[in-house]
Structure 1
Amino acid sequence: MGIRSIFAGMAAAFLATAASAQMEPVPDRQAGEAEGPFPVLIVSGANMIEGSGAPPMGPVDIVIEGNRISAIHSGGAPDDVKASANRVIDASGMTVMPGFVDTHGHNGDPGKAAQPSYGYRLWLAHGVTSVRGVSFYFGPGQPDLEDRRRSENNTIVAPRLFPYAVFGDKWDRPAPTTPAEAREWVRWAKAQGFWGVKFFNAQMPDVLGAALDEAEKQGLGTVAHLAQPGVQRVNARKSVELGLDGITHFYGHFESLLDKNSLVRYPEGYNYFDEQSRFGWVARLADQVVEPHSEEWDEYIDYLVESGVTLSPTFNIYAASRDVMAAKNRDWHERYSLPSLLDFYEPSATNHGSYYKDWTTEDEVAWRKFYRYWFDLTAEFHRRGGRVTAGSDPGYIYQTWGFAYIGELEMLREAGLSPLEVIRAATVSGAQEIYDPRGEEAPMGTIQVGKLADLVIVPGNPLDNLKLLYGTGHTKLNYETGAIEQVGGVRWTIKGGIVYDAPKLLDSVATMVAAQENERALSQ
């Protein structure tokens, strides 16, 4: 078998596994699940973090007409404007920010979270108003594009959806193995209505290069998970040379920074298809690269910045590797993680949900060192002017939708971004990553007159404590009463002028969880 066929077979096997069954259809939005849009809606009295990196300011009144922001009044809107409002949201003492953008989303699959509305509601409940799906679903015949249309029409409870297709997926033909076939597939994906292409670098460089070139011509965004079976041919540096727009996860960076070898040194008995072997070893890759802030390290970061590539690190998705016990016992699992999802998270020889079959202190220590290197690379890239965005890759490895996104914001902070920089990564930077390939200004991502009214409103100030954004809130002691209180949690999420009550969304998710628990109890 030729090398092209081997790589094509790898991609086909991945997609066939991921697309083995269909998801449930998303139900129509029911009366009472949201309000609006209104002829005039006012968010009144909030402190505003407008998204571009400017400091908080307030109180302000934000006037929304239909789905757009029509005015921002410092101190308060004139009386006649307030009198004209169909609804006023009293956000006194709260913070209003642009709706968050998750640049790395997937739906579940029938074995772990068969109803896509589960993830959609959790995203909205955490202030996420836009999600780039890479992909939302795998395999032909899946409703990525239909879900986007229904979300745009607000007939389902869901964020804005921006579907990417995995290269070679979605159509009913074999994955491309030649440059000509690659270009044909990209043109086909564009014609279908996809916004971009996700690569797993299971292609030869000439095929990948042709696909990236055609995607740029077609105005499609590109992002890659530079998987280890192909990274010896196309690492992060090479993919950027070929024209890649964005890199997600850590793959490809460290292979671009090897110290004493041109290829990674794998340990004896290594097997990529054994996930504990794969992930237990990958943290040790930090021992094979040049030192942070060395000449080679700095040159690589400068190259990335100058290329204009975007990094969406998705720190959170591997965070359990640093402390599995903590990840298994997050506050939200009992009420908001489906039993089927918790099953999927259990160690398995086949599920890509958890690879901790025999996870040791040594593994966790290795991952903590690995994160120090990964954090340093990302933060230095950002400090030198590179664009970093926030993606959560939910539904794997103890990372549940929505909660995982806020976890990513906390980890961006841990990496070294300031709180304001974290909010910028979560808002305007993500919006720009989605719209830049089209040559268009993003219609959301900042709170500005004329922009889409995508907003998140939260009690307190998340710049002081990002934990306020978790659906479960933040635990604190009331020194006056001696009581333990839960504070924070998003109060309202507004998508295009439509107001969602975030606690009600969480209650609807809790109902889904309870229903599945009851079904299991009755079947025993």
Structure 2
Amino acid sequence: MTFRKLALAALLALAPAALSAQQMDAVPDRAAGEGEGPFPRMLIAGATVVEGSGAPPAGPIDILVENNRIAALYPGGAPASVRNSASKVVEAGGMYALPGFVDTHGHNGDPSKANQPSYGYKLWLAHGVTTVRGVSFYFGPNQPDLTDTARSAANTIAAPRLIPYAVFGDKWSRGAPDSPAKAREWVRWAKAQGYWGIKFFNSATPDVLEAALDEAETQQMGTVAHLAQTGVAEMNAAEAVDLGLDGVTHFYGHFESLLKDGALPYYPEDYNYFDEQSRFGWVARLAPQAVEPGSEEWDAYVDALVESGVTLSPTFNIYSASRDVMAAKNRDWHARYSLPSLMDFYAPSATNHGSYYKDWSTEDEVAWRNFYDKWFQLTKDFHRKGGRVTAGSDPGYIYQTWGFAYIGELEMLREAGLAPLEVIRAATLDGAREIYEPRGVEPPMGRIAVGQLADLVIVPENPLANLKVLYGTGHTRLNYETGAIEQVGGVRWTVKDGIVYDAPQLLESVAAMVEAQKAAR
């Protein structure tokens, strides 16, 4: 086996989810009472609207939805004739309405963590996520990526809108696409199956990657890459973007493009990529090897990224436990909403991907905090100069549970320096544009505007003042008048395709899954 094939096998075994022969349980049909609508005419009344493009909040506004489209916006309130003609009125006075959130980095296929995919789908919906790009949702052949996508589009399951990407070389049975001709063949095959785009793991030689990227553009398919350490010596982020890559996810490839000394990163003599504590412990030691923010080389790299039109989806949250693993494993939501099997997967393990805290020290955490400082600065500089940043959560690993992880990503985008309105734009319009731009069209969702799909999030508290109110567990606040400790916030309703989902009800169904698994044990 060549090193490239060995590297691909290793990446698909270690990086998101295993290529398991196990099948997930089928997602059950949407039950009666699980979401209402779509309605011929629905009025969402009295909300303050945060419309998604970065425009400031405005309200009260009544939003008229006809079937699955926003038909009109009425500042100050709709006429009585309009209100009386609505078959459903959602009373949202004093609440905030935002476009449905877009998660640009999703997975949902590993039976050892959560055998029922509706667990993740419902947690996404309960946190206002109405569109998810799966990179991939499932790994390996004969998996239900495309059937789940079709069922979600038909609204026969309770799930966000699903955008299926396939990992380069995965899904088919014709061998590794290890030549430019075969790379083009695989891309055309993936397009014909119904995949919208491709996720790369640095498993291709530069000539093969170049051919695949070129063919993807011809086929109007999106491309995104996790430029892993096993291939970054031949293809860092600067080089991949030069070849036409649409998006870089995580941090991989950036600092390797900015090394102070030499062409390759330094690794200690006992480094072992297949030992994930070694792998991730040394990720943080990469930052000091890169040039400093504000240097000529740093600014030139940021400028080149912006000029290329590449999108960054940093997924800050998925590695955040490395800064404080004790806090991550004791999050508010684990007791009620994280499955026991998922908590087992998160625990230190020699085999589970991302479960690498086998002997995690203060020195490791300090190194990661310093790493985040530089990663945040890179993202902030890129965004400030006009680059597009989107919100992806990569859930199901490293103490990051579906839905909750997405809100954590919004908080970390804020920490990186995006203003609250910029965070919401990253989570809505910019995420939608990243997905639809390769197809040559403006997205049908991502804003609260006439003609857009009826994808909405309705929240009792103001998320611009405090993103924590978007967590399903809400936000803890002391009531100064009564002295009571209150739990406030949480999404109240998520509207996807004109269907109104009761977010607390979705969370209760997830809690029931957790309790059932605990009882079975």
Shorter-normalised TM-score: what interval? over 0.9
Structure 2 gap segments, 5+ residues each = none
**Residue 451 of structure 1: aligned partner:** 452
* In structure 2, C-alpha distance between the alignment counterparts of 1:12 and 1:474, rounded to whole Å: 38
* In structure 2, C-alpha distance between the alignment counterparts of 1:490 and 1:444, rounded to whole Å: 19
* In structure 1, C-alpha distance between the alignment counterparts of 2:11 and 2:204, rounded to whole Å: 8
Q: Tell me if the contact between 1:51 and 1:445 (Cα under 8 Å) persists in the aligned partners.
A: yes
**Residue 340 of structure 2: aligned partner:** 339
**Residue 188 of structure 2: aligned partner:** 187
* In structure 1, C-alpha distance between the alignment counterparts of 2:501 and 2:128, rounded to whole Å: 10
Count of paired positions = 520
SS of the residue aligned with 2:260? Answer: coil
Q: Tell me if the contact between 1:8 and 1:176 (Cα under 8 Å) persists in the aligned partners.
A: no
Deviation at 1:7, TM superposition (A): 4.3
SS of the residue aligned with 2:22? Answer: coil
- One-letter amino acid matched to 2:501: Y
The answer to whether 1:369 aligns with 2:387 is: no
- One-letter amino acid matched to 2:476: T
SS of the residue aligned with 2:64? Answer: strand
**Residue 214 of structure 2: aligned partner:** 213
| Percent identity (aligned) | 74
Deviation at 1:455, TM superposition (A): 0.1
Q: Tell me if the contact between 2:14 and 2:352 (Cα under 8 Å) persists in the aligned partners.
A: no
Q: Tell me if the contact between 1:237 and 1:252 (Cα under 8 Å) persists in the aligned partners.
A: yes
The answer to whether 1:102 aligns with 2:106 is: no
How do residues 237-316 of structure 1 correspond to structure 2 at under 5 angstroms?
Answer: 237-316=238-317
The 1:4–1:370 alpha-carbon spacing in structure 2 relative to 1, beyond 3 Å, is closer
1:423-467 alpha-carbon deviations (Å, 9 max, x no partner): 000000000000000001100000000000000000121000000
1:268-308 alpha-carbon deviations (Å, 9 max, x no partner): 20000000000011101011010111000000000000000
SS of the residue aligned with 2:137? Answer: coil
Q: Tell me if the contact between 1:99 and 1:129 (Cα under 8 Å) persists in the aligned partners.
A: yes
How do residues 46-57 of structure 1 correspond to structure 2 at under 5 angstroms?
Answer: 46-57=47-58
**Residue 34 of structure 2: aligned partner:** 33
**Residue 137 of structure 1: aligned partner:** 138
Deviation at 1:172, TM superposition (A): 1.6
**Residue 406 of structure 1: aligned partner:** 407
Deviation at 1:9, TM superposition (A): 4.5
* In structure 2, C-alpha distance between the alignment counterparts of 1:337 and 1:291, rounded to whole Å: 39
Q: Tell me if the contact between 1:392 and 1:405 (Cα under 8 Å) persists in the aligned partners.
A: yes
Deviation at 1:209, TM superposition (A): 0.7
Structure 1: 4+ residue segments shifted above 6 A: none
**Residue 152 of structure 1: aligned partner:** 153
- One-letter amino acid matched to 1:117: S
* In structure 1, C-alpha distance between the alignment counterparts of 2:9 and 2:116, rounded to whole Å: 30
**Residue 42 of structure 1: aligned partner:** 43
Q: Tell me if the contact between 2:121 and 2:159 (Cα under 8 Å) persists in the aligned partners.
A: yes
Q: Tell me if the contact between 2:389 and 2:430 (Cα under 8 Å) persists in the aligned partners.
A: yes
The 1:96–1:201 alpha-carbon spacing in structure 2 relative to 1, beyond 3 Å, is same
The answer to whether 1:480 aligns with 2:481 is: yes
The 1:8–1:104 alpha-carbon spacing in structure 2 relative to 1, beyond 3 Å, is closer
**Residue 196 of structure 1: aligned partner:** 197
**Residue 429 of structure 1: aligned partner:** 430
* In structure 1, C-alpha distance between the alignment counterparts of 2:488 and 2:411, rounded to whole Å: 17
SS of the residue aligned with 1:50? Answer: coil
Deviation at 1:353, TM superposition (A): 3.7
* In structure 2, C-alpha distance between the alignment counterparts of 1:458 and 1:492, rounded to whole Å: 7
* In structure 1, C-alpha distance between the alignment counterparts of 2:355 and 2:265, rounded to whole Å: 24
Deviation at 1:173, TM superposition (A): 2.3
- One-letter amino acid matched to 1:508: S
1:89-136 alpha-carbon deviations (Å, 9 max, x no partner): 110110000000000000041101010000000000000000000000
Q: Tell me if the contact between 2:109 and 2:139 (Cα under 8 Å) persists in the aligned partners.
A: no
Q: What TM-score do you get using the length of structure 1 for normalisation?
A: 0.98
* In structure 2, C-alpha distance between the alignment counterparts of 1:110 and 1:128, rounded to whole Å: 22
Deviation at 1:511, TM superposition (A): 0.2
The 1:376–1:76 alpha-carbon spacing in structure 2 relative to 1, beyond 3 Å, is same
Deviation at 1:377, TM superposition (A): 0.1
* In structure 2, C-alpha distance between the alignment counterparts of 1:446 and 1:92, rounded to whole Å: 20
How do residues 70-81 of structure 1 correspond to structure 2 at under 5 angstroms?
Answer: 70-81=71-82
- One-letter amino acid matched to 2:174: R
The 1:5–1:470 alpha-carbon spacing in structure 2 relative to 1, beyond 3 Å, is closer
RMSD: 1.1
Deviation at 1:19, TM superposition (A): 2.6
1:26-77 alpha-carbon deviations (Å, 9 max, x no partner): 0000100110000110100000000000000000000000000000000000
1:321-344 alpha-carbon deviations (Å, 9 max, x no partner): 000000000000000000000000
* In structure 2, C-alpha distance between the alignment counterparts of 1:500 and 1:262, rounded to whole Å: 52
- One-letter amino acid matched to 2:44: V
Structure 1 gap segments, 5+ residues each = none
SS of the residue aligned with 1:264? Answer: coil
- One-letter amino acid matched to 2:367: A
Q: Tell me if the contact between 1:10 and 1:202 (Cα under 8 Å) persists in the aligned partners.
A: no
**Residue 67 of structure 1: aligned partner:** 68
SS of the residue aligned with 1:198? Answer: strand
Q: Tell me if the contact between 1:43 and 1:61 (Cα under 8 Å) persists in the aligned partners.
A: yes
The 1:234–1:496 alpha-carbon spacing in structure 2 relative to 1, beyond 3 Å, is same
* In structure 1, C-alpha distance between the alignment counterparts of 2:498 and 2:323, rounded to whole Å: 40
- One-letter amino acid matched to 2:391: A
SS of the residue aligned with 2:351? Answer: coil
- One-letter amino acid matched to 1:426: A
**Residue 22 of structure 1: aligned partner:** 23
The 1:328–1:25 alpha-carbon spacing in structure 2 relative to 1, beyond 3 Å, is same
* In structure 2, C-alpha distance between the alignment counterparts of 1:23 and 1:173, rounded to whole Å: 24
* In structure 1, C-alpha distance between the alignment counterparts of 2:520 and 2:262, rounded to whole Å: 55
Q: Tell me if the contact between 1:223 and 1:244 (Cα under 8 Å) persists in the aligned partners.
A: yes
* In structure 2, C-alpha distance between the alignment counterparts of 1:209 and 1:513, rounded to whole Å: 45
- One-letter amino acid matched to 1:107: N
Q: Tell me if the contact between 1:431 and 1:445 (Cα under 8 Å) persists in the aligned partners.
A: yes
**Residue 440 of structure 1: aligned partner:** 441
Q: What TM-score do you get using the length of structure 2 for normalisation?
A: 0.98
* In structure 2, C-alpha distance between the alignment counterparts of 1:478 and 1:205, rounded to whole Å: 59
Q: Tell me if the contact between 1:222 and 1:244 (Cα under 8 Å) persists in the aligned partners.
A: yes
